[in-house]
Structure 1
Amino acid sequence: MKRPFILFFLILLFLHPVYAQSKKAGNAILSGKIIDSASHLPLEYATITIYTSASQLPFSGSTSDNAGLFTLNDIPAGNYRLMVESIGYNSFNIPTIEITKNSIIDLKNISLTKKSVSLQNITVVAHGRLVENKIDKMVYNAEKDITSQSGVATDILRKVPMVSVDVNGNVELSGSSGIRFLINGKPSSMFGSNIADVLQSIPASQIKSIEVITNPGARYDAQGLGGIINIILKKNTAHGTNSTISLASGSRTDNGSFNFNARKNDFGFHAYVSGNIRPYATTPYTSNRNSSDSIQHTSTLYQQDGSSRFRRQAIQTGLGFDWTVKEKNNYSGSVSYNQFGYTGNGTVFQHQKNWSADQSLLSDVNSLSNTSNFYKAHNIDAGFNYKRTFDKEDQELEVSITSSLNNSTSTAGNNQLLLPMDSLYYGINNRNPGKETETELEVNYTQPLQKEIQLGLGGKFSLLDISSQADIWSLVPNLKSYTRNKALSNNLDYHQKVYAFYSEIKLPVGSLFDAKMGARYERTEINSFYSNAQRQIPTPGYNTLVPSIYFSKKIGDRHTLKLSYSKRIERPDYGDLNPFINTADPKNITAGNPYLKPEIGNRYELGYALDLGSVGSFMANLFYRANNHDIQPYIMYYPVLVIGDSTFSNVSVSSRENIGMEKNTGLNLFGDIHYSNKFTFRSNLFFFHRHIINVLQPGFDAYSFNYRMNINLTYQFNTRWVGEFFGNFNSPRNEVQGRYPSFVTYSFAFRKQFWNKKGSLALTATNPFNEYVNQQTEVKGPNFSLNSNRKIPFRSFGVNFTWKFGKLEFKKEKDEIPGGINGPTD
């Protein structure tokens, strides 16, 4: 852990002499920052070219970095002119710049205006890239993806490089499910429940972009072993008013959204409402479990054959504002309300045979299980942010407070009958209300030390409170009535405080490369109470020191190399820690583990990006990640299990365990090729090797090779018609106890624009030639093996209608020359 800090201080020690020697004696340095004239955000990859006044041939040039900054070194004294260009923007000209010996000229902000063509009350601007590669993150511009617009957030995530999604909607980033999800850069307590359900409740038409950060910097929370996924919802910053309505209907999902934006002068307001419904779908299911009792010397075959029906619904609504006062003070705030839930029921035929050691049949029992479940959650997110800028460029102070409240209720029931007499012999009903509150106070400050060197400081305090009550009623067969089961019922109170402080510095190391280095310290304190834990063990507070290092090197105008390292932590959530024992299925019990330790991970990444200009782009990322105290699902088999005053036979118990250490080495390749102005080809290939060191069963380590690949084809038939195909394949996933199934999906989409491109109609089809996706799972553990198959309905057809209306004002700013005709002075 000390090595990254040794490297950090060595670089700082040698920084000043290296930086000072980058300039040749007598020659000048010219620098500046390229920004968008409307949003004032920095523009990356803008081309800066300088000419001598007497020549049409370029004398020197450069491109802007992710902060919009550029520097031209070693310019002899003389008269020059400067040209700035960026895709989708009007070029900017400074006709005369007089440069003297040993001068350092700062052009400050250079504003570029977007190229636009007015169509009545709508302005169409040039499109940027679908995928953008920044120094510390990758951005997927979801609003440019036509295939996913009739779906949900999960459908978009399937297309994002380095992200994989299984058929159940579970998300992994670079092979890890430990992901910190954010909405508009802020946490939400709704992700504290079932993340897969939440992601399938957000309409894709509501999402502007998705940011993926595999090695987060010191400013970000240390939570999230695989990294951070930030979902940015749509909001328009242009002046005037505009609205967008999007409606989608399909055989698998119906959703819709409405967005309203208004801005006048320095005040902006936005509001939205969206929702989706997934109608009932039936999933057939079969399983076979073979087990043995080493004490009684018996063996058992347990078979299940049935199906379940499932329905999901959700609604989100919110509003927000931003207000700039006297140019340097910006206030913004938002509040949102989210509600989502699901209902389901199922019927399963069960057959159990038991044999003695000499293969004599001891019992043969048939039974029928009827199940039902229900879940509903209400969530409120609120936040306020203050940002202060100063006369000194890039000096900023930001203070924010966010709060999130989530109330949820779940119920489940199971009645089991012996066949053929249909006599009720087992029944259980669960009700589990819960409440989760998360509050964060954060302060960030950025101080430029000198040109192109920035120091960042900040801190955060976060408070997480969870309360949950589980009430269980069990059938008393003789009385044919239900009584409260005190042994299984429980309640919990969980309180977590995290104090965090960080510091990071961004600077050029001479002309060698750009660096961004930092460290984050987090103090975690937990106070918890579990009513039915065998013993209450106080959780000691612990300290986490999280370093992060980024090196970036531009080679010419097109090549970029990146090397990064970060340390991450994955704290188990209350769903993992809650010792509630769910016996809704008495043969397959689930339980939490209050004694889980947090995972600690170290991740190294080497990245390469190639900008092919109008032809496209290419990215390659090589990574290595090692997780200690790795948390995974783990199944134990018990011939007989006593819980309270209840006895269960031939039962498996699934919980989460610190399995040991997991090592992953992988490669991600992404290509975006524009064969012509009509045809675009995109593909993402992801491969990784996994080695799991099993400390629960020494000698039973797991090795596996996993891969994922997708292909995306887009063809623009004319200015109004566009078609798209997307195909995805995930290889089988191997964990410590078994093999989880592969997954194939493909989709087609066609969209036509009309009403002067203010309206559009899209037709989509997903897996049109296959009604089901077969999910075959193989799991092995001490004294048992399990093979199961779920046939998940995945075929769907849909239609999406989008209408944009309102009046936007794009005011073209004057091309002002900073500092006058001769440029700025020292």
Structure 2
Amino acid sequence: MNTQIQMKISILLFIVFFLVNHQVVGQETENVTGQVKTIEGKFVSQAHVVLLDKDLKVAAYGVSDDKGYFVMVTVKRGEYKLKVSCVGYEIFNREVSVGEGQNNLGVLHLKEGILLDEVSVTRDKSMLVTKTDRIVYDVEQDSTAKTSVALEILEKLPFVSMDMKTKQLQVMGETNFVITINGKKSLFLSEANQYVTRLLRGDKMKQVELITSPHGQYSDKTAVINIVTKGSLPDGVVGNIMFDFGKDLIEPDMGITSKIGKLVYNMNYQPGYTYYSKLTDRTTVVNYREDIIHRTESELATWSKDDSHKFQLNASYDFTERDLLTFSGQYNYYREREFQEGNTMIWNAENCEEQSYSFDNRNINREERWKGKINYQKSFRNKEGRLFTTTYGMENNRDKKRYEQELTGFLGIEDSCGVMVNRLRLAEHTLGMDFTNPINEKHSYFLTAKFITRRYRSDEELDYNQYVPSFRASYSFSTAKINLRVEVSFEKTINDMQFDPKNKNIRKNFFDVTPSASVIFILSRKSTFSILYSVPSFRPDIHYLNPFVDRSDPSHWKVGNPDLEPEISQFLSMKYLFYMRRASLVFSVKYKHSGNAIYPYDYTNEVGALVTTYGNMNRSEMLSFDMNFEYKIPDKLQIWYTGEAKYTYYSITRNDFPLWNFKSAAGAYVTLFKKATIGIIGNIRPISTSVQDTKFRYLMTSTLRGEYTFNQKFCFLVDIDKFLWKRINVENVKETDAFYYSKDEQWRGRWVTFTFVYNFGRLRDRVKESDRGIKNADRVKE
């Protein structure tokens, strides 16, 4: 009995103590509220409101909602320093006192101004996470995502920047990348219709992955940008119109993308016209092994007119969340009308003139391309990341070259007039299957099989059939600090060729096994180091093999080589990646060795003309050092540099050609105020680094660019390329034990273009109209 009484007394005392203590705590803390607006009275969302104590430590923190309201709970009474900050506004400071009763700070007005650099409130979790093969940007941790578009978020990724001229993204200074949505190719947003990123809201994105070492079907790409979304993407129609024009060119570019439920389609049309003004080249060829046709000197003036049309139509349909069918079709038309005037003089070894003539050429090159592809993607509900893809593609090309030449002889040459026509036709079919399977977090593999058939026909009695079956397997192992990847490819090439009905068929078969391996190490939270070894092979196509002789320039012929063998190389590369908040650095070293590399080379024929063809060299080596650096402050400043130092060594018959060459480019873009940006780019590179070069000139150019943005959808650009020169003269020398070749070539200098860019359209969430109520599947999943 006494025990029960003591227990009741203890419980009663505990309740009294709790109530008294709760009352004391409640009396010592308060809730602080308020609202954030602009000076014009507009609501400011995602504003960071901070109370700092006398030691300038954060005592309370809040974020304003869509109406600008904020609340900070359980704030101890006392004196504080209030700071309110938001991207795009000046920081608001005020001394406040938190006392008993109502603690409503009222309306706090922010003034538009500088970006938020001075004060930021960080969380324990970083928005950028470095993994072995990728950098992950957590968009949900970005407080500005709701008020940003996808393009602004993508530009926050290290190594990703926007080219001011083309309005296209670049990764590590290159455009060789792909964009995927949730690990799959999507017509709604890809590298081909990047204008969608200017209208897609950032709050549709959960995270973005920059895959810096892609494998599988994207192993030939520099990077993959994978966007992970929140639920389904919005519906709507968006488009882009870009219009380039100048004194000698007109190049419109019009694109449109639409999404209606499960159906996505986009179209793109690019007509173009370019006029190239007259330029004059002077060449000298000395044939050491010929006494009669010993020295040839030529002068050639060339001008041309080009027109083109490119049309592309793509469509996809999601039968289910796991089944996607895609169709893409493309038509390209290109016509070049080239006009040439020139004269040639030939001397013998005793410096006596043997022959001289003048010529007048009218050359028309016409190319047509039809491409079509059907792709089916299957993902699996029970295994995230597992993907099966099957593809059928076809291509039909028609190239027509027509040369009309009038030759007037002055010495040793008779007048002549001739027409040469060559039509080259290609029919290609491709069937492929890919399978990607992540076994678990550490292990994954990729399999692909492909079969290609090509059939070439030409007026020169060319009958060439090629069959290429191939299979590739890749395995990847990953831990928190290392990624290991091994791959092997098997490829069989069957060539059935007949270049003249008088000759018998030539049948060449090749079987190549090309292994590769790579390893990636995480050195720190913001740096990685990778090593890659591979045995790449290059299979020459008809443009290398076609024996048709191009005599459009009587002093310089061009011809293919049907006896080429596939090129097999040994390749080793090392790459170091490092990034900070605003800067990124890529440094790489590459080495390549081949015993039968394919490369163009020159020789002189019996009539004294220089002939360019292709051949398998005895040996070739390449060692290069590459660097890419970028520093950027979004909407303020962008500075970049890229450079390469390369050593090459070629061995052909009895001649060796070692050569060092360098190239680099640097640029800076500065935003003077919110709507105007100026930029300058400097570039230095060698004019030519072909196999037999012994002397060449470095070309230094500068480009001025200016942009004015009227609003989010419309901007205007001016681009002045090579603004320091009207004409550039370039000297190039080649020399072997058989001939000496020198060319004084004239290049076009100053080139001024104007560009208008207009983005239009609207995207919004879509709910089907029906008699039923709205289901969770209709909503965007947060």
TM-score, normalised by the number of residues in structure 1: 0.69
1:689 lines up with 2:656 in the alignment: no
Q: Which residue does the alignment assign to 1:445?
A: 435
1:574 lines up with 2:570 in the alignment: no
Does structure 1 conserve the Cα–Cα contact (< 8 Å) formed by 2:716 and 2:757? yes
Q: Which residue does the alignment assign to 1:554?
A: 522
Q: 2:488 aligns with which of 495, 519, 524?
A: 519
Tell me the amino acid that sits aligned with residue 398 of structure 2: N
Q: Which residue does the alignment assign to 1:169?
A: none
Does structure 1 conserve the Cα–Cα contact (< 8 Å) formed by 2:389 and 2:433? yes
Q: 1:90 aligns with which of 116, 128, 140?
A: 140
Q: 1:115 aligns with which of 128, 139, 145?
A: 145
Tell me the amino acid that sits aligned with residue 337 of structure 2: T
Q: Which residue does the alignment assign to 1:324?
A: 318
Tell me the amino acid that sits aligned with residue 276 of structure 1: G
The 3 A distance-change label for structure 1 pair 63 and 377 is same
Does structure 2 conserve the Cα–Cα contact (< 8 Å) formed by 1:217 and 1:549? no
Q: Which residue does the alignment assign to 2:201?
A: none
Alignment of 1:537-548 (within 5 A): 538-548=506-516
The 3 A distance-change label for structure 1 pair 116 and 254 is farther
Q: Which residue does the alignment assign to 1:610?
A: 578
Q: CA deviation at 1:762?
A: 0.8
Q: Distance in 2 between matches of 1:215 and 1:453?
A: 16
Note the alpha carbon deviations across 1:619-665, whole angstroms, 9 max, x for none. Answer: 10111111231122222224x3xxxxxxxx33333221112221111
Alignment of 1:662-741 (within 5 A): 662-674=620-632, 678-694=636-652, 696-697=653-654, 700-731=655-686, 733-739=688-694, 740-741=696-697
Q: Distance in 1 between matches of 2:306 and 2:656?
A: 39
Q: CA deviation at 1:314?
A: 1.1
The 3 A distance-change label for structure 1 pair 253 and 215 is farther
The 3 A distance-change label for structure 1 pair 252 and 548 is farther
Give SS of 2:506's match. Answer: coil
Tell me the amino acid that sits aligned with residue 682 of structure 1: W
Give SS of 1:681's match. Answer: strand
Tell me the amino acid that sits aligned with residue 473 of structure 2: S
Q: CA deviation at 1:114?
A: 8.0
Q: 1:651 aligns with which of 592, 597, 609?
A: 609
1:631 lines up with 2:621 in the alignment: no
The 3 A distance-change label for structure 1 pair 561 and 461 is same
Q: Which residue does the alignment assign to 1:805?
A: 760
1:301 lines up with 2:295 in the alignment: yes
Tell me the amino acid that sits aligned with residue 555 of structure 1: L
The 3 A distance-change label for structure 1 pair 381 and 517 is same
Give SS of 1:687's match. Answer: strand
Does structure 1 conserve the Cα–Cα contact (< 8 Å) formed by 2:270 and 2:311? yes
Does structure 1 conserve the Cα–Cα contact (< 8 Å) formed by 2:701 and 2:724? no
The 3 A distance-change label for structure 1 pair 719 and 710 is same
Q: Distance in 2 between matches of 1:571 and 1:60?
A: 46
Note the alpha carbon deviations across 1:370-410, whole angstroms, 9 max, x for none. Answer: 11211111111111111111121111111111111111211
Q: CA deviation at 1:365?
A: 3.9
Note the alpha carbon deviations across 1:797-816, whole angstroms, 9 max, x for none. Answer: 11111111111226998775
Alignment of 1:11-160 (within 5 A): 58=124, 63=129, 65=131, 86=138, 89-91=139-141, 115-117=145-147, 125-129=151-155, 144-148=162-166
Q: Which residue does the alignment assign to 1:789?
A: 744
Does structure 1 conserve the Cα–Cα contact (< 8 Å) formed by 2:293 and 2:608? no
Tell me the amino acid that sits aligned with residue 591 of structure 1: V
Give SS of 2:544's match. Answer: helix
Q: 2:721 aligns with which of 766, 769, 779?
A: 766
1:396 lines up with 2:446 in the alignment: no
Q: 1:265 aligns with which of 261, 268, 274?
A: 261
Note the alpha carbon deviations across 1:771-790, whole angstroms, 9 max, x for none. Answer: 22323211123432111112
Does structure 1 conserve the Cα–Cα contact (< 8 Å) formed by 2:429 and 2:453? yes
Across the two proteins, how many residue pairs are aligned to each other?
622
Tell me the amino acid that sits aligned with residue 498 of structure 2: F
The 3 A distance-change label for structure 1 pair 229 and 507 is closer
Q: Which residue does the alignment assign to 2:44?
A: none
Q: Which residue does the alignment assign to 2:409?
A: 418
Q: Which residue does the alignment assign to 1:750?
A: 706
Q: Which residue does the alignment assign to 2:280?
A: 284
Q: Which residue does the alignment assign to 1:29?
A: none
1:600 lines up with 2:596 in the alignment: no
Q: Distance in 1 between matches of 2:370 and 2:352?
A: 56
Does structure 2 conserve the Cα–Cα contact (< 8 Å) formed by 1:603 and 1:624? yes
The 3 A distance-change label for structure 1 pair 608 and 429 is same
Q: CA deviation at 1:668?
A: 0.6
Q: Which residue does the alignment assign to 1:591?
A: 559
Give SS of 1:491's match. Answer: coil
Give SS of 1:345's match. Answer: strand
Tell me the amino acid that sits aligned with residue 518 of structure 1: E
Q: Distance in 2 between matches of 1:331 and 1:322?
A: 5
Tell me the amino acid that sits aligned with residue 794 of structure 1: G
Q: CA deviation at 1:674?
A: 2.6
1:621 lines up with 2:621 in the alignment: no
TM-score, normalised by the number of residues in structure 2: 0.72
Q: CA deviation at 1:298?
A: 5.1
Q: Distance in 2 between matches of 1:395 and 1:376?
A: 44
Does structure 2 conserve the Cα–Cα contact (< 8 Å) formed by 1:675 and 1:681? no
Q: Distance in 1 between matches of 2:511 and 2:345?
A: 51
The 3 A distance-change label for structure 1 pair 540 and 351 is closer
Does structure 2 conserve the Cα–Cα contact (< 8 Å) formed by 1:668 and 1:684? yes
Q: Distance in 1 between matches of 2:537 and 2:156?
A: 31
Q: Distance in 2 between matches of 1:231 and 1:341?
A: 34
Q: CA deviation at 1:57?
A: 8.7
Does structure 1 conserve the Cα–Cα contact (< 8 Å) formed by 2:354 and 2:411? no
Q: Distance in 2 between matches of 1:258 and 1:231?
A: 25
Q: Distance in 2 between matches of 1:208 and 1:704?
A: 44
Q: Distance in 2 between matches of 1:338 and 1:127?
A: 34
Q: Distance in 1 between matches of 2:328 and 2:366?
A: 24
Give SS of 2:742's match. Answer: strand
Q: Distance in 2 between matches of 1:543 and 1:581?
A: 30
Q: CA deviation at 1:207?
A: 12
Q: Which residue does the alignment assign to 1:137?
A: none
Q: CA deviation at 1:585?
A: 4.0
The 3 A distance-change label for structure 1 pair 64 and 562 is same
Give SS of 1:450's match. Answer: coil
1:500 lines up with 2:452 in the alignment: no
Q: CA deviation at 1:584?
A: 4.0
1:253 lines up with 2:240 in the alignment: no
Q: Distance in 2 between matches of 1:543 and 1:782?
A: 36
1:378 lines up with 2:399 in the alignment: no
Q: CA deviation at 1:339?
A: 0.7
Q: Distance in 2 between matches of 1:432 and 1:59?
A: 65
Does structure 2 conserve the Cα–Cα contact (< 8 Å) formed by 1:351 and 1:367? yes
Task: Report the structure number with the largest CA radius of gyration.
Answer: 2
The 3 A distance-change label for structure 1 pair 268 and 734 is closer
Q: Which residue does the alignment assign to 2:347?
A: 353
Q: Distance in 2 between matches of 1:555 and 1:291?
A: 57
Q: Which moved more, 1:362-371 or 1:651-660?
A: 362-371
Note the alpha carbon deviations across 1:290-322, whole angstroms, 9 max, x for none. Answer: 22445xx55733211231111212111121112
Alignment of 1:471-510 (within 5 A): 490-508=460-478, 510=479
Does structure 2 conserve the Cα–Cα contact (< 8 Å) formed by 1:620 and 1:669? yes
The 3 A distance-change label for structure 1 pair 238 and 373 is farther
Does structure 1 conserve the Cα–Cα contact (< 8 Å) formed by 2:242 and 2:755? yes
Note the alpha carbon deviations across 1:29-59, whole angstroms, 9 max, x for none. Answer: xxxxxxxxxxxxxxxxxxxxxxxxxxx9959
